[in-house]
């Protein structure tokens, strides 16, 4: 613990009494989105899943589409996403979220449909579903949380694990000669004619959080156009399995994940394509 964290709480309360409170409704600039249920999430402290959940629900709230949105939860740490997002949700078998989303969107085209998946789910067991869904250009949003490991099952190597990165199943570091190279699934998806908007974002600093939210907002607006699949990769952390503190893990995202997974748009629709 650093020095400033040791300062007394009592001082905090003294300050509160002295100063006239500005905590009134008209001064409110940020609060938890209403569509994120008022419960404590099961994620480890500092896990990027929480930020991604919150951003999605902020966007759903801002667009006023709570009753028109259907989410598909994956298998992985975010398997309980339906306990936190106050919208209609469907749980899918491991890796099959985009297949489930395809069915739901085709039967209910008037709904906004998104999947929320980890890298083990989307880029390992579900690679086939992912690629074919994007290739068919299903009008859904895919939110892909890339933390470089299988978080839920104890930090095994994922297709996205970085070269040399130590995991429980690559204790000496990923050897690309044996286990191949990290799969840049967003880059692959961007080459498919069915994908409409493909972007890679992160949530480790306030500025990137704002950008990630903008990408989500855009994706829902694009879904209204019905012109193809939107794909948002979020390069995230897994402090528990990376065996780091949350602050260290975010630093690791910046120093190790981002050089391999550079942030930014991989496919942007032209103005003509987005004209309504």
Partner 1 sequence: MAKVKGDIVIDIEKCKGCELCVEACPQETLGLSKKVNSRGYLYVVKIQDNCTGCVNCALVCPDAVLKVYRKTLGKENPVAVVSNVTQDLTLTVNK
State the nearest-atom distance from the C-beta of 5 to ligand SF4, in Å.
10
**Phi–psi pair at 114, nearest 5 degrees:** -135, 155
Q: Which of 46, 59, 96, 119 binds ligand TPP (CB under 6 A)?
A: 119
CA pseudo-torsion sign 245, 58, 225, 109? positive
Residue 98 interacts, among ligand TPP, ligand SF4, partner 1, none and using kind-specific CB cut-offs from 5 to 8 Å, with none
Residue 240 interacts, among ligand TPP, ligand SF4, partner 1, none and using kind-specific CB cut-offs from 5 to 8 Å, with ligand SF4
Output DSSP code: residue 85: B
178 binds partner 1 (CB under 8 A): no
180 CB burial (10 A radius; 0-12, 13-18, 19+): exposed
67 binds partner 1 (CB under 8 A): no
Indicate the helix (H) or strand (E) that contains 102. helix 97-107
- Span near partner 1 by CB under 8 A; candidates 7-15, 122-130, 173-181, 263-271: 7-15
144 binds ligand SF4 (CB under 6 A): no
130 binds ligand TPP (CB under 6 A): no
21: its two tokens: 């409170």
33 binds ligand SF4 (CB under 6 A): no
Query: What string of DSSP letters covers 109-154?
Result: TTSEEEEEEEHHIIIIITHHHHHHHHHHT-S-EEEEEE-SEETTTT
Residues whose CB falls within 8 Å of the CB of residue 54, separated by 6 or more in sequence, listed in order: 32, 33, 36
167 binds ligand SF4 (CB under 6 A): no
From the list 239, 227, 214, 231, the residue with the least C-alpha distance to 266 is: 231
103: its two tokens: 């069915």
17 binds partner 1 (CB under 8 A): no
Strand pairing class (112-118; 69-73):
parallel
Residue 94 interacts, among ligand SF4, partner 1, ligand TPP, none and using kind-specific CB cut-offs from 5 to 8 Å, with ligand TPP
Residue 149 bridge partners (DSSP): 157
Q: Which of 46, 48, 120, 228 binds ligand TPP (CB under 6 A)?
A: 120
82 binds ligand TPP (CB under 6 A): no
44 binds ligand SF4 (CB under 6 A): yes
The count of residues in the chain is 276
191: its two tokens: 């080459």
184: its two tokens: 């840049």
- Span near ligand TPP by CB under 6 A; candidates 2-10, 144-152, 161-169, 195-203: 144-152
Binding site for ligand TPP (CB under 6 A): 75-78, 94, 118-121, 125, 145, 147, 149-153, 158, 238
Positions in the binding site for partner 1 (CB under 8 A):
1, 4-9, 11-12, 15-16, 18-19, 21-24, 26-33, 36, 40-41, 43-51, 54, 62-65, 68, 109-112, 203-206, 209-210, 217, 220-221, 223-224, 239, 245-247, 250
Residues that bind ligand SF4 (CB under 6 A): 43-44, 47, 49, 77, 147, 151-152, 238-241
């Amino acid at each position: 613990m650093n020095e400033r964290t040791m300062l007394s709480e009592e001082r905090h309360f003294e300050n509160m009494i002295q100063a006239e409170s500005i905590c009134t409704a008209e001064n409110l600039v940020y609060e938890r989105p209403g569509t994120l249920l008022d419960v404590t999430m099961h994620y480890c402290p500092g896990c990027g899943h929480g930020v991604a959940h919150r951003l999605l629900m902020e966007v759903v709230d801002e667009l006023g589409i709570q009753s028109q949105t259907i989410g598909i939860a994956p298998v992985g740490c975010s398997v309980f996403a339906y306990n936190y997002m106050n919208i209609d949700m469907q749980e899918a078998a491991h890796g099959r979220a985009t297949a489930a989303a395809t069915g739901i969107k085709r039967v209910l085209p008037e709904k906004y449909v998104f999947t929320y998946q980890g890298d083990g789910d989307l880029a390992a067991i579900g690679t086939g579903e992912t690629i074919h869904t994007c290739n068919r250009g299903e009008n859904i949003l895919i939110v892909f949380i890339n933390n470089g490991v299988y978080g839920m099952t104890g930090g095994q190597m994922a297709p996205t694990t970085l070269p040399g990165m130590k995991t429980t199943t690559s204790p000496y570091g990923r050897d690309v000669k044996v286990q191949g190279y990290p799969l840049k699934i967003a880059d692959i998806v961007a080459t498919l004619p069915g994908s409409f908007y493909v972007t890679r974002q992160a949530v480790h600093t306030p500025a990137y959080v704002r950008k990630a939210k903008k990408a989500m907002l855009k994706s829902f607006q694009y879904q209204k156009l019905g012109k193809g699949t939107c794909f948002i990769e979020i390069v995230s952390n897994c402090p528990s399995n990376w065996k780091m503190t949350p602050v260290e893990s975010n630093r690791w995202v910046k120093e190790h994940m981002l050089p391999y997974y550079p942030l930014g748009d991989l496919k942007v629709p032209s103005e003509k394509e987005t004209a309504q």
